[in-house]
Amino acid sequence: MKKSMYSLMLADEVVKAVDELAAEQGTNRSNMINQILAERLELVTPEKHVGQIFDVIGTLMGGRGEYRMYSEPNNLTMSIKSVLKYHYRPTIRYEVEMQRSFTSTVGQLKILFRTTSSELLMELTRFFGLWIKLEGIYLKEYFGDLFPHYGMEPGRFTRTFVSYGESTYSDNEIGDAIGNYVATFDEILKGYLSGEYRTMEDIENRYIGYLNSGVRLI
C-alpha cells in the first residue's frame, strides 16, 4: 500500500487523542491516523496483513511452551526467545521482520545471540555454516535465482524469506511457513548443541524430514 504526504486540518483535541493512542500502541501519529482511517473504510493495511501472520506464528509456536514471543500492535517485527540446550542455558532470540509490501522477498529472520563463550560461538558459527550448505543442496531447485540471502556477523545470523516460483501465499500460509521454519531451525540447533544430532547425517535426516512433512517453503 503506497504512502504519500497530505496536509490536513485537525482539531487539537483530535490530535491529542490520536497521539495518546499512538503512544499506547508504540507507533506514531501519521501511522495511527492511517490505521484509524483504514479501519473505518474497511481497508486492509500492510500492518493488518503482518498482524495476521504473527497471530498464526504465535498460535503455532505458542502451543509448544518453549518460546517467549512478543510483538507490538501495528509493528512489522516479532521477537521469539528460546533457551538453548547448552551448559549454562543461554538465550537466543529470533526476530521475524516482515516487509510492508511483499514481492519476491517477504521478510527476513534475524537470529541474535550474546555470549562470551568462545566454544559456543565456534559451535554456532559451525552450525550456521552447515545450515547454509544444507539449504543450498535441498532448496536450490525450488528457489532458483530467488534463493534466500544469508548474513553472518558477530552475534547475528540472518536469512531472507522468499516466495519461490509462482507461489503466492495467503497471510495464514506465510505465518504457517515461517512458524514451522523457525521451530524446525530451533529444534535442530538445540539437537546439535546437546549432542542429539551428532553428525551432519543426523542433521540432514532431520531436515529432510522437515521438507517431507508437507510444509510450505519460504
Co-location of 38 and 53 in the same domain: no
CATH number at residue 143: 3.30.1460
Question: Is 218 domain-assigned?
Answer: no
Question: Is 112 domain-assigned?
Answer: yes
Question: Is 143 domain-assigned?
Answer: yes
Q: Could you read off the pLDDT of 62-118 as tens digits, one per residue?
A: 876 689 998 877 788 999 999 988 877 889 999 999 987 777 788 999 999 988 888
Q: Could you read off the pLDDT of 190-216 as tens digits, one per residue?
A: 999 998 988 889 999 999 999 999 888
| Cα atoms found within 13 Å of the Cα of residue 186, Cβ hemisphere only | 25
Co-location of 194 and 104 in the same domain: yes
Q: Could you read off the pLDDT of 116-137 as tens digits, one per residue?
A: 888 999 999 999 999 999 999 9
Question: Is 217 domain-assigned?
Answer: no
Flag whether pLDDT at 176 surpasses 80.
yes
The number of helices, as runs of H, and strands, as runs of E, in the chain is 7, 6
d(CA 206, CA 183): 13
Co-location of 156 and 182 in the same domain: yes
Co-location of 120 and 159 in the same domain: yes
Model pTM score: 0.80
Q: For residue 91, give the C-alpha cell.
A: 538465550
Q: Give one DSSP letter per residue of 95-148, joined into a string.
A: EEEE-SS-SSEEEEEEEEE----HHHHHHHHHHHHHHHHHHHHHTHHHHGGGPP
Question: Nearest to residue 181, comparing CAs of 211, 149, 201?
Answer: 211
Q: Could you read off the pLDDT of 19-49 as tens digits, one per residue?
A: 888 888 777 888 777 777 767 665 667 778 8
**Residue-number span of the structural domain to which 95 is assigned:** 46-211
Question: Is 216 domain-assigned?
Answer: no
Co-location of 54 and 18 in the same domain: no
Angle 48-9-35 from CA coordinates, rounded to 5°:
5
